[in-house]
Amino acid sequence: MATFFKNNKFPFILLGSMLAGSILGAYWGSGAAVLSPIADVFLNLLYCCVVPMIFVSLVSSIANMENLKKLGKILGIMMLIFILTEIIASIYMAVVCGVFDPAKGAQIAMNQKVDDLTSNNNFLSMFTVNDFSLLWSRKSLMALIVFSMISGVALVAVGEKGKPVVQFFDALSAVIMKMVGYVMLLAPIGLGAFFATLIGQYGSEIAGPLSRSIVIYLFAAVAYYALSNTLFAFIGGGVLGIKRFWKPIISPTLTSLGTCSSAASIPAELIAAKQMHISDDIANITIPMGANLHKDGACLITILKIAFMCSVFHVNFLDPHIMFTAILVSVIASTVMGAIPAGGYVGEIFIISAFGFPEVSIPIMVLIGTITDAPATAINSTGDTGVAMIIARIMEGKNWLKDKVAAEAKTEAA
C-alpha cells in the first residue's frame, strides 16, 4: 500500500487540493472569487506552453515519419473513430435522458434577456487564419495544427536538406516537455483555487432547480468515463492495455477536471501516452487534433441540454425525429466547439436553431454547460488518449503493446 501511494503521490496531491478547494468554496461562497487570480496564473502558464508544444511536437513527429502514407492512414482511422464514438456517446445519453427526465420538478422562469446571438457558422474557417500571428493563439489551435502538418510534410519532402531542422525540432520538443513538467508543479495550488472559485460561484445552482439534471449527468458521465476508457484500452491492448492505461491517465483526468480545458490537458495527455508506450507519431497527431474534434463529453452535455429544454417546453424528446435531430446536432456542435473553457457556448445556437426554442432559454443551457463542463472535459481529454491506443494497435499490430513492454523489461534488466 505504501508503494502504491508513493508511485501515485502527485495524483493524490492534485485530488486533495481540488477537494480542499471545493470545501473552501462551499464555505466561503462568492467570496472565493478572490482566489481566481491564483488559478489564472497556473492556467496562463499552461496555455503558454500548449501552443509551442503542439507546433514543435507535431512537426517533429511528421518529419520523422518514414513515409507520408502513414500520416494519411492515421488521420483516416482517427476521424472514423472520433465520429463513431461521438455518435455512441450521444445515443447513450439520449437513452439516459429518455429514462430519467432531467427537468422533472424544475421550476424555471424564462425571463432572462440575451443580447448577442451571433455565431460564426463557417465551419471551414476554424482550419485557417488570415494572419500568421494569429496562429500562435490557443483560440486557433485547429489552424495551428494544419500549419504544423504542412510544415512537417515540407520537411519530409526536402529530404537530407531538412535533417538539421528536424534535429532542431526534436531537441526543442524535449525542452518544451521539460518546461511543461515545471509548470505542472504549480497544479495543486492552481487547481485548488479554481475549484474554490467554481463551487463558490455555482454552489447554489447545483443545489437548486438544476440539481436533478446535474446529478443525472454526473452519474451518466462517470459511468461513460469508466466504461468507454476501459473499452478503448481493451481494444487497443487487451487486458495489458487496461493495466497500462489507468495509472497514467489519472493525472490528465485531474488536470482536465481542474482546468475545464481540453487544450490545457494536452501536455498531461502526451506524457501519459509516453507511459502507455504509444508512439510519438500517433500521440502527437491524435491528441492535439482530438482536443478540437473529439468531444464525447460535450455530446453528453448537448443531449442533456436538449432533453432539459424539451421537458421545459413540453416537447416529446422520445419522438424518433427529435431523437435523431438531437444526436445529429450534438455531434456537429461538439465537433466545432473550441478547446478552451466555455468554448461550447456556440452549441446553444445550434440547439435553438434546430429545435426552435426561444432565445431566452440560452442562459439556462449556458449554466448547465458551465456546471457540467469539468466532467465533460475529462471525458473529452482522456478519450483522445484511448483512441490513440486503438490507432496504435491498428497501425502496429495486435501485439504492439506486449512487444514494447517486453522490450522495456529487457532494457531495464540489462
Can you state the angle between helices 262-275 and 250-259, rounded to 10 degrees?
170
Q: Position 274: which residue type?
A: K
The CA-atom distances, in angstroms, between 102 and each of 210, 212, 298, 306, 372 are 8, 6, 17, 10, 13
For the record, the C-alpha cell of 128 comes out as: 485557417
The one-digit pLDDT tens for each residue of the chain (414 residues) are 454 455 556 666 766 787 788 788 878 887 888 888 888 887 788 778 778 877 887 787 777 766 677 778 888 888 899 889 999 999 999 999 888 888 776 555 444 443 443 444 455 566 788 888 888 887 777 688 788 888 888 888 888 888 888 889 888 878 887 887 788 788 788 878 877 887 777 666 555 556 778 888 889 999 999 999 999 999 988 898 898 898 888 888 888 887 777 777 888 898 899 889 898 888 888 888 888 778 888 899 889 888 888 887 888 888 888 888 888 888 877 765 544 444 455 567 667 767 777 766 766 776 777 778 888 888 988 889 999 999 999 988 888 888 888 887 777 766
User: Nearest 10 degrees: CA dihedral of 125, 126, 132, 138?
Assistant: 150
Predicted TM-score (pTM) above 0.85: no
Residue 89: Cβ within 10 Å count? 28
- Quick one: pLDDT at residue 342? 42
Expressed in angstroms, the distance from the first to the final Cα of the chain is 28
Distance CA 50, CA 370 (A): 23
- Quick one: pLDDT at residue 46? 76
Task: Enumerate domains of the chain plus CATH numbers.
Answer: 2-413 (1.10.3860.10)
